[in-house]
Chains A and B, each alone.
Chain A
Amino acid sequence: MRDGFEIVGIRRTEQYPASGSQSRRQGKPLVSALLLCFIAAGCLACKWMTAKDPSYLNLQYHSMPPNREFIFGTDTMGRDIFSMIWYGGRISLFIGLVSTLLTTFLAVIVGAISGCASGKVDAVIMRGVDILLSVPELLLVLLLQAVFGRPNVFSITLVIGITGWMRMSRVIRTEVRQIRNSEYVTAARCMGGGFFHVLWHHLVPNFISSVMFMVVMSIRSAIVAESTLSFMGIGLPVEVISWGSMLSLAEQALSGRAWWMILIPGLFLVVTLVCLTNLGNHLQRHVNRRHSNL
């Protein structure tokens, strides 16, 4: 608007620096990746991170605010929060990863079968998925958890894994529908390739890019699910340390105004989730660098 006119529609190409190193680094979630690696490494190396036993109940020093001896303070049962963070993170991350593996596996199988099947079978499977989706997730988890009885790490992983695959399987089905009639798939079939051969060698490589994002997000939602369940008292019991079960002492912490018991595990949780989201978004970003017409 410098001299009364605004020129509309010119594309100022020189705005994008063509130089190599800077643009290559731009947009890549380096900080997130580093932070995530740091947290994961700390959890894996929890034995060397801290000399204290996270499950030792030092009742003499219960509910201590952060100090030199206990960097992050202690909880109402006298356990050292600093070492609990690392030991607990191991379990939280484990549940996130393993249940995502399960979720992905189920989603790929159901999605691929539904995508390849005839109209009727496909319709039945998708209706079933719809019905499962119509049960609130919390209720589904609650019911399944009740079937498994006393919760432990594996039952929680299993429950979260088998309640999370529905959305992903729908996406995979749509993708498979689009490519199942391509010539190379038909060719592979004609040459005698079985269902799993075609699935693994032809279908999976095609939809993997669109599903990768959902996989990363599913790690995120699995971690959230575990911590929410443990917090509500239907997930891991207090003795099994995870970021969620640490927060299940929150009620006592609130009445004692022990902010460190709530904020510190929660911050670790949130930082991990934010990093995962950034990574996932990076995987998904369809680079749309066309200039805006507006």
Chain B
Amino acid sequence: MKINRYMKIIGRKILLLAGSVFILSLLVFYISRLSPGDPLVSYYGDRAEKMSPQEQEWARDRLGLNDPIHVQYIRWLQNAFRGDFGISYKYKMDVTAVIGGRILNTLLLGGIGFLLIFVLALLLGILCAWHEDKILDRVICKIGTVTSCIPEFWLSLVLILIFAVSLRWFPSSGAYAVGKENNPADRVRHLVLPLTVVVMSHLWYYAYMIRNKLLVEVRADYVLLARMKGLRKSQVMFRHCLPNILPGYFSIMAVSVPHVLGGTYIVETVFSYPGIGTLTYESARYQDYNLLMLLSLITGITVIVCNMLAQAVSERIDPRIRVDDEGAYGEVEEL
């Protein structure tokens, strides 16, 4: 009986996921083809301009770009079901191969960044709530507000200017030096600056959220009772207040995966870090249709799965949230 219910829920979720992905793919497919610009340039490079009209026509035909859009879409869909997502016009390789070569870099940057944000925000939030309205809290709040306002690309530029150009401590671009692909120390050196930007630009958002949630929690009556019973401040904080706010924090962190991901994209482009972000930027800009499709599907699926995960987590921890309660998503409140 219970298993049956779970199966039903899981089935519904999978159906929802499939539907969303389908609409997403349709959307991206149409918009990317509506945009002006010539995919031939991305395939043939400069040679495209020197080709005669007949040759261009022939090349278009060969890439299947002359059919009506819906025919192209159906063909793409059929191939996609067989696991064939087409070739990248620019790299002339299977798009899966192009992405496969780079996704690890992004996962490294995004993953470590996400973990750091998660842990540091928790610590910082607790620190601020502990010293509420004292000098330390106020100073951290001020600094935090300022850092959260700095646009990612400008922070990257300033860090490059200071640490790469002037001091020469860290390299300014790339994921590894030429010929040192398997040298972990070199990779770490290349990661430091991008990672700093990713963490700095998101950290305060979550730390502030933790702080405010704790401040509300600390004013509850049970805290007074616990203190009257003689528990120490730290005991109340870590045993009672913190566990109460953690579920909300977990689900918000799950929802915010795309936020961090989106930030990674910009940082990657500034540092010319060979990851998914730079690839997305290139493919959208230079009409590399097949590559763009798969990339947007990957990001879209990540986002949707994370949303579902967030919902599942909060349901699991807090059974009061019903399965299809409206607005059950942990909403990421704007700072």
Contacts and interface: CB of A to CB of B under 8 A. Distances in A.
- The answer to whether A and B interact is yes
Contacts, number: 160
Interface string A117-146: 000000000010011011111110011101
Contacts of A8: 224, 227-228
B331 A170 contact: yes
B178 interface: no
B101 interface: no
A8 B228 CA distance: 7
Interface residues of A, number: 54
Contacts of B216: 288
A228 B266 contact: yes
B269 to A, nearest CB: 6
Given A134-B258, A254-B165, A270-B149, A247 B154 contact: yes
Assign chain B's interface to a size class: 35 or more
B281 A232 contact: yes
Contacts of A262: 154, 157-158, 161
A172 to B, nearest CB: 12
A257 B152 CA distance: 20
A277 B36 contact: no
A147 interface: yes
For chain B, what secondary structure do more than half of its interface residues adopt (helix, strand, loop), or is it mixed?
Answer: helix
A143 B20 contact: no
Contacts of B307: 130, 134
24 contacts: A8-B224, A8-B227, A130-B304, A135-B27, A138-B262, A138-B281, A139-B296, A142-B284, A142-B285, A146-B35, A167-B334, A174-B327, A217-B335, A228-B266, A232-B266, A232-B269, A254-B157, A257-B161, A266-B158, A269-B151, A274-B145, A277-B145, A290-B219, A293-B218
Closest 3 CB pairs of A and B: A146-B35, A134-B303, A293-B223
Given A231-B153, A231-B154, A262-B158, 15 more contacts: A9-B224, A130-B20, A136-B262, A137-B262, A138-B265, A138-B281, A177-B326, A228-B151, A228-B266, A266-B157, A270-B150, A278-B145, A288-B216, A292-B219, A294-B223
Interface of B: 20, 23-24, 27-28, 31-32, 34-37, 132, 145-146, 148-154, 157-158, 160-161, 165-166, 172, 215-216, 218-221, 223-224, 227-228, 233, 236-237, 241, 258, 261-262, 265-266, 269, 280-281, 284-285, 296, 299-300, 303-304, 307, 326-327, 331-332, 334-335
